[in-house]
Structure 1
Amino acid sequence: MERIAEAIMLSWGGKRILAAFGTGALSVLALPPFNFFAVLFVSFPVLVWLLDGASGPAEAGFLGRLRPAFATGWWFGFGYFVAGIWWLGNALLVEGEGFAWALPLAVLGLPAGLALFYGVTTALARLLWSDGVGRIAALSAAFGLGEWARGYLFTGFPWNAIGYAAMPAPLMMQSSELVGIFGMSALTVFVFSAPALVGTRRGAAAGIAVALALFSAHVGYGWYALARVDAAEPQPARAVIRIVQPAIDQSAKWDMSERERIFARLLELSAVPPREDQPRPTHIVWPETALPFLLTENPGALSRIAGMLQVGQTLITGAVRFEDGVAGAPSRYYNTIYVIDDEGQIIGSADKAHLVPFGEYLPFETLMRRFGLEPVAETFGGFSAADRRGLLDLPGGLGAIPLICYEAIFPDMATVPDGRGSLLLNVTNDAWYGNTPGPYQHLRQAQLRAVETRLPLVRAANSGISAVVDAGGRVVASLGLGEAGVFDVELPPSAGDFSYIRNRQFNFGLIIAIMLGTAVWSRRRKRQGFD
């Protein structure tokens, strides 16, 4: 292994770029739908060895000395994001060739921008680089901070944070309750980078011992937490949920000639009798923007919904909500969840608060439109964001925390200031992305929100993957990608507060502080000649 490490450290030019890009792309195999997390034992040691040889000449100045480390991290990140989110380009081709010109921006431009975070991450780590375990700690702390920054800056986009790669199954998801996804990212990098110490023989025993202890604690806490979820005090059944997955082709979604067929299909699936051994559903859930029209343009729709619902049943559906402008203000459209009772009355609603840039709205809209740009979801001229968020009250005494589409990837969105709620409600439409890894990655991130909040997750997706997930992150029932149909399931209970979000934030800060302290201590020892 020492020969391999030395060859990688001394590589330069195209070989170095290829090694960084290739190992970044290889890391995606650890994510859904592949879940081959062991591949990180290859990719992160290679990244460490590349950074060992990524020191600029002393005469180049401060930034010049960091440039090779930044470039190494950028190429690693570019490979990771190109291989991980290439499927975003599929959304640009759904409604014809109108957005085909933007394919390079989605498939290459966005990954190039996201890779800047990893470039800064590795440059920051290189500031505290040393020969032993300290450099592993420096890289881990930097990745934790880098993923945290990616989750918040420029509206945030924490998709496929490195920590998700260490969570291929519910047993290995439970630690996120304690440290959150950003803390998990830091710990993941430490554990999977530890084999690099064998290649350089400095600090190998201590580093690998710590990595093994962390991995054992990670798995051990998973067993403990799942057992605690299962041992939680039983709660009386409060709801039987029916998930409707219509699998409507996105290109037909807003076709005027298809709207009646789509609506009739939703009503038909919702009215399917339950199996003999199952109770009647109390709550029926349709996906994001399931209604293929504005309710204000189809006043008979609520009557037809009431005719489909039986006494005591409730429909929860995604829809586009129109708000007419007053006093000269422009009209607005919202991506909304409606709650409709058995009399066809709208008894609750929640609007999407975190919109997709360039998908649902244009940043700097006036300027962008001058250049002829428009949102991908331009059917209604773009969406407006909700003014506030709160619990969505459902019949049966349930409080749902609404998560529309990719809001589920943001940990902070799974909490509300006025209460914890009874469940997480995620409606989405992943039909934009076709049969690609995107829907699998989206589901995994939504699962983590159930673990972090210890609330069940109810997820309705137009084309899949629809699922009900318990408070331990385990899928209780689901419909696969591309399938059309329904399933009924009793809502799993919540599991109580294991860890408050403020504790996760503190624990994340503690992990970063310990790793940075280790890195500083190791670097000082090196400078003082102890290593």
Structure 2
Amino acid sequence: MVDRVQGLYHGIVLAGRRTRFLVALLAGLVAALALPPLDLLPALALAFPALVWSVDAVFQGELGIRNRLIQVWLVGWGFGLAYFAAGLWWLGAAFVTGGPQFIWLLPLGVLGLPAFLALFPAFGLCLAFLLWSRGAGRILALAFGLGVAENLRGWVLTGFPWNSFGQAFANHIVLAQSASWIGASGLGLLALALFAAPATLATGLGRRGRWGPSVLAVLVLAGMAGFGLLRLKPTGGQGVDFALLPVMPEIRLRIMQPNIPQDAKTFETLGPDLLRRYLELSDAARGAHATGIADVTHLFWPESPFPYVLERNQEALAAIGRFLPARTHLITGAIRAEETGQAQPRFRYFNAMQVLDKTGIIAGYDKVHLVPFGEYLPFEDWLRSIGLQQFVSVIGGFTASPERRPLAIPGLPAILPLICFEAIFPGEITLPPTGEAVMVVVTNDGWFGQTSGPYQHFAQARLRSIEFGLPLVRAANSGISAVVDPHGRILARIGLGIADVLDSPLPKGLASTVYRRYGERVSIVILFCLLLLSGLSRFRDRRDRLS
């Protein structure tokens, strides 16, 4: 085995620049196999060593530091281009769904965005190269450099931390329990260090140098698995045991997933038919003794299901009021309009979550983190001048709410409302360190059809449950709708592309988690340790070469 690994190593190290770039592309493609819905986590153990060996080839070269950094940058960019193109190809579906006016932009989304995102691993690999050494310390340098780049990707230009390396753990529920301590970003640092460790099989000095890092990586993974199993055991293990799972009393949830084609929601004339469909589906009886909506205390509809402003449509509000039983509350996505007091534009529009009872709208939340190009245009005047527009056809785009706040809904604990891709930003979720709460996500992944995008979106929301120890209620137009417990286990779900309802109790949250108390500070400590250890390894390596 070691001989074969060394053969691969020498093939990469002795290859020319073009071959090395192709290896980086292949490594990026292989790494993307670890993402949902494939979830092939061992693929990282092939991709990351190849990336390490590609940097080794540059490190051992005779060129000056500037030229070597350029070569490393190209390796990192090639890796990132393939990784993001393979992981985000489904974005192309939105350009088709959006209509003919967007199809000409399809190459920009499918290749342009990955090419931009690839700048981050390119920078990260250059940062790692400055700490590179001949020993196992370079594994930690890789984790530090790419870890810093991933953190930057989470906030530069409002951030897009989609498909972070830690997301590869999301559907491996036992291993993912470590997110309760270190978060998804910490899982990403572990993924980099643990799955790059086999690189030393080709370069380590002696048996300990070759096998030590890989053995240590296996032990850490075994420790993560042991921790996860112990954490899950009291409430049923990997599968939920409802007899052991604590639930909130007297709360019966129902999620309605309409699976409405995206273009149907753009015609206001279809509004009455859509609302009729929602009400009929919401009242469906599921089970021998069920009586439909009469059994439900809280009904959830997905993001922006109406082709009109709900609060300004009295007929729709009246129909919903007649439909809801006295004790039932509806939580739904909606568009909210607010008058500006000007002639043009007359209204500001918000992507909202609204709470209704028989009397009408009683509470609401406006989305804080909008989707660039989806809900608003950055550099709007310039981009509109060349023919670009946002996907959601709202005059002037949506307006972002200035603050995120919990939502009070009668009968439920404090609600942390999240609309669409707000659920991928753990650092923006603010809660008291302890106390009962529930995350509610309304989303519309119908833009992306039956691709891998909705699976990736749902996997990230599950990680939020583990990080914060909170239950999750997720209502999606076309899927995946689900109720998730505070350990990330799925209590009930509706699959992709299905019109149906699900009923579920509301599981209780945990008292707290380490991540909920300390947030991203935990991964920052890990990053600092990686910097310290890789810097020490770099210092020792230079000292040995000069002596």
Which bin holds the TM-score, normalised by the shorter protein? over 0.9
Distance 1:321 1:229 in 2: 41
- Aligned-residue offset at 1:420: 5.5
Which of 264, 272, 290 is equivalent to 2:305?
A: 290
Counterpart amino acid of residue 224 in structure 2? H
1:265 is matched with which residue?
277
Which of 415, 426, 444 is equivalent to 2:430?
A: 415
1:350 is matched with which residue?
365
Which of 345, 352, 368 is equivalent to 1:336?
A: 352
For the structure 1 residues 418 and 517, does the alpha-carbon distance in structure 2 shift closer, same or farther, using more than 3 Å as the test?
Answer: closer
1:249 is matched with which residue?
261
Is 468-477 or 374-383 further displaced after alignment? 374-383
For the structure 1 residues 493 and 43, does the alpha-carbon distance in structure 2 shift closer, same or farther, using more than 3 Å as the test?
Answer: same
Classify the secondary structure of the residue corresponding to 1:54: helix
Tell whether the 8 Å contact from 2:247 to 2:505 is kept in structure 1 after alignment: no
Which of 215, 218, 232 is equivalent to 1:212?
A: 218
TM-score by length of 1: 0.95
1:300 is matched with which residue?
315
- Aligned-residue offset at 1:358: 0.8
Which of 187, 192, 195 is equivalent to 1:189?
A: 192
- Aligned-residue offset at 1:379: 4.0
Tell whether the 8 Å contact from 2:248 to 2:506 is kept in structure 1 after alignment: no
- Aligned-residue offset at 1:498: 2.3
Distance 1:132 1:515 in 2: 14
Question: C-alpha offsets along residues 313-350 of structure 1, whole Å, 9 cap, x if unaligned?
Answer: 01011011111112567420110001001x23211100
Structure 1 spans left out of the alignment, 5+ residues: none
1:222 is matched with which residue?
228
For the structure 1 residues 420 and 328, does the alpha-carbon distance in structure 2 shift closer, same or farther, using more than 3 Å as the test?
Answer: farther
- Aligned-residue offset at 1:186: 1.0
Classify the secondary structure of the residue corresponding to 1:191: helix
Distance 2:138 2:433 in 1: 43
Distance 2:93 2:440 in 1: 26
RMSD between aligned alpha carbons? 2.1
2:31 is matched with which residue?
27
Is 365-374 or 39-48 further displaced after alignment? 365-374
1:68 is matched with which residue?
71
Question: C-alpha offsets along residues 264-322 of structure 1, whole Å, 9 cap, x if unaligned?
Answer: 10011112235345581100000000123112542111110011111200101101111
Question: C-alpha offsets along residues 432-471 of structure 1, whole Å, 9 cap, x if unaligned?
Answer: 0011000000000000000111110000000001010000
- Aligned-residue offset at 1:394: 0.8
For the structure 1 residues 504 and 212, does the alpha-carbon distance in structure 2 shift closer, same or farther, using more than 3 Å as the test?
Answer: farther
Does 2:91 align with 1:88? yes
Counterpart amino acid of residue 521 in structure 2? F
Which of 116, 119, 122 is equivalent to 1:116?
A: 119
- Aligned-residue offset at 1:238: 4.2
Is 380-389 or 464-473 further displaced after alignment? 380-389
2:152 is matched with which residue?
149
Tell whether the 8 Å contact from 1:94 to 1:432 is kept in structure 2 after alignment: yes
- Aligned-residue offset at 1:225: 2.2
Paired residues for 1:394-473 under 5 Å: 394-416=409-431, 422-473=437-488
Distance 1:414 1:233 in 2: 25
Q: Sequence identity of aligned pairs in percent?
A: 41
For the structure 1 residues 180 and 3, does the alpha-carbon distance in structure 2 shift closer, same or farther, using more than 3 Å as the test?
Answer: same
Question: C-alpha offsets along residues 177-223 of structure 1, whole Å, 9 cap, x if unaligned?
Answer: 11111111111111101111001124323312321222122112211
Does 2:381 align with 1:366? yes
Distance 2:435 2:136 in 1: 41
Counterpart amino acid of residue 354 in structure 2? Y
Distance 1:154 1:238 in 2: 44
For the structure 1 residues 476 and 380, does the alpha-carbon distance in structure 2 shift closer, same or farther, using more than 3 Å as the test?
Answer: farther
Question: C-alpha offsets along residues 333-388 of structure 1, whole Å, 9 cap, x if unaligned?
Answer: 110001001x2321110011000001100112122222222111124441110121
- Aligned-residue offset at 1:26: 1.5
1:46 is matched with which residue?
50
Tell whether the 8 Å contact from 2:433 to 2:512 is kept in structure 1 after alignment: no
Distance 2:395 2:229 in 1: 48
1:17 is matched with which residue?
21
Distance 1:274 1:205 in 2: 56
Distance 1:461 1:336 in 2: 14
Distance 1:275 1:251 in 2: 33
Tell whether the 8 Å contact from 2:436 to 2:509 is kept in structure 1 after alignment: no
Classify the secondary structure of the residue corresponding to 1:374: coil
Is 279-288 or 445-454 further displaced after alignment? 279-288
2:181 is matched with which residue?
178
Distance 2:247 2:501 in 1: 25
Distance 2:116 2:436 in 1: 36
- Aligned-residue offset at 1:129: 0.8
